[in-house]
Amino acid sequence: MVNSITWQSFLQEHLHDDVQQLALQRNRFPQLSDADFRFLLQQVEGKQRTRDKLPILNHLPDWWFPVRLSCEQCSSEATAGYKAQIRPSVCHTLIDLTAGYGVDTFFMSENATEAHYVERNAELCAIAEHNFSLYRPKIQVHNTTAEEFLSSLPITNSQYPIANNPYPIANTLIYLDPARRSQSGGKVFRIEDCEPNVIELLPTLRLHASHIMIKFSPMLDITAALRVLGRDWDTHIVAVNNEVKEVLFLTGTGVMHAVNIHTREMRTDRFFFSPADENQAQLTIAADIQQYIYEPNAAIIKAGAFRLVGERYELKKLDMNTHLYTSDICMSGFPGRVWEVIEAEVKDPKKQLDTQAKYSILSRNYPLSPEEIRKKYKLKDGDDRYLLAARHQGKPRLILATRIK
């Protein structure tokens, strides 16, 4: 393997180069073997692709990066850091059964006494072994499958613990991020179709850990998943900059956590509730469009807290199926976007709107898409002025507003 000095020198010189073009210039580097050249190209591409996704790891000297697909599939530092926050403090041992590149393992193990990285891909294990030896030596790397690793553990449970069990059940968290692709390469969205099969593994997992955390796709049907898993799970819907990135299940009491991490502002919006809270919440439909319009963040929308968010912030909903709300009071702490209304109803867009001005367009439960609205009224894209297209009491309406949050 290429030495650290050569690696750092190559990165410094070519970090901003086009990797595909650089790959065609193999003859410029006769001192490098083919394997070393491929490795260095992989490092340049990895650092380029993860600059925003993994800013801390990106700046660690001698930290290695895997192939492109693994960089694309790994957790971001923002979501890995959130998982580290919700890791139960009593869990001194972490076992990551489907560790991949190891980003989650790295961040979740920060305050753990002991950590185990389990991965069947030998190349990823070699990269993890190198990285952890430099920056997190307490993590032990196991090149094996989740099933094989579990079979190697002593059988125990909370009633009959083994005295010399190296992983006491009450102090252990098992984490899984099952693969969400079929053998043919297509995406799967049901828990039962993931690899490894979490439902089949659950009885074994419960023998070895009192706390289990499972990561799934943002496309997951949460209600259907809980029917399969059972109700003794807390659900965490994690969005980053208003885009849902993952759904987490952590053994708990059935609480829903809708979380939106703002990486630029370095803050996090949190909204938590029980399904009973949502079912019992009172929903009020607005008779008129008031001074401010509110849209809950993507995590709250995914969580389905449509009644409760209105009740908690004393907002009125525009329509039963339109997830926009209105109020005459500006709620600065609202977990989502806020607009101040300029014109409550634009009845004649061609006359009322300036075709030379720029407008951002938002369409919610409206017959036309933003692109169709823009084309129909010949509007330019951009600016903080918004044209909000939505149904209000069943009728399509255009609202002119300025975004203030």
Could you tell me if residue 304 is left (phi over 0), alpha (psi between -120 and 50 degrees) or otherwise beta? left
Is the domain of 112 the same as that of 229? yes
Q: Is residue 296 reached through a cis peptide bond, with omega within 30 degrees of 0 on the bond before it?
A: no
Is the domain of 95 the same as that of 216? yes
CA distances from 51 to 56, 68, 76, 196 (A): 9, 13, 11, 30
Tell me whether residue 17 is in a domain: no
Angstrom distance (rounded) from CA 169 to CA 82? 23
Q: Measuring CA to CA, which residue among 166, 119, 117 is closest to residue 140?
A: 117
Question: How confident is the model at residue 336, as a pLDDT?
Answer: 97
CA 382 to chain centre: 27
Tell me whether residue 291 is in a domain: yes
Q: Are 187 and 218 in contact (CB under 8 A)?
A: no
How close are the terminal C-alpha atoms of the chain, in Å?
Answer: 50
Tell me whether residue 397 is in a domain: yes
Is the domain of 337 the same as that of 224? no
Could you tell me if residue 266 is left (phi over 0), alpha (psi between -120 and 50 degrees) or otherwise beta? left
The token duo for 59 is 């700046």
Low-confidence residues of the chain: pLDDT under 70: 1-2, 5, 155-168, 181-186, 188-189
Q: Measuring CA to CA, which residue among 398, 397, 362, 358 is closest to residue 379?
A: 358
Question: How confident is the model at residue 193, as a pLDDT?
Answer: 80
CATH number of residue 148's parent domain: 3.40.50.150
Tell me whether residue 203 is in a domain: yes
Is the domain of 314 the same as that of 328? yes
Q: Measuring CA to CA, which residue among 303, 266, 243, 305 is closest to residue 81?
A: 266
Is the domain of 362 the same as that of 235? no
CA distances from 396 to 177, 258, 367, 389, 390 (A): 42, 29, 8, 7, 6
Question: How confident is the model at residue 384, as a pLDDT?
Answer: 76
Angstrom distance (rounded) from CA 368 to CA 358? 19
Question: How confident is the model at residue 327, as a pLDDT?
Answer: 97
> pLDDT tens across 75-102, in order?
999 999 999 999 998 899 999 999 999 9
Q: What is the mean pLDDT of the chain?
A: 91
Is the domain of 97 the same as that of 239? yes
Domain-ending residue, one of 246, 273, 300: 273
Is the domain of 348 the same as that of 251? no
Tell me whether residue 4 is in a domain: no
Show the domain range for 296.
279-403
Is the domain of 248 the same as that of 319? no
Question: How confident is the model at residue 182, as a pLDDT?
Answer: 55
Is the domain of 181 the same as that of 79? yes
Angstrom distance (rounded) from CA 188 to CA 307? 30
> pLDDT tens across 159-202, in order?
444 445 555 677 899 999 998 765 555 676 678 788 888 999 99
Domain-ending residue, one of 273, 300, 318: 273
Is the domain of 257 the same as that of 133? yes
The number of domains in the chain is: 2
Tell me whether residue 268 is in a domain: yes
Is the domain of 146 the same as that of 269? yes
Question: How confident is the model at residue 162, as a pLDDT?
Answer: 45
Is the domain of 255 the same as that of 317? no
Prediction pTM value: 0.91
Cβ neighbors of 175 (< 8 A, separation 6 or more) are: 83, 94, 95, 96, 97, 104, 105, 108, 212, 213, 214, 215
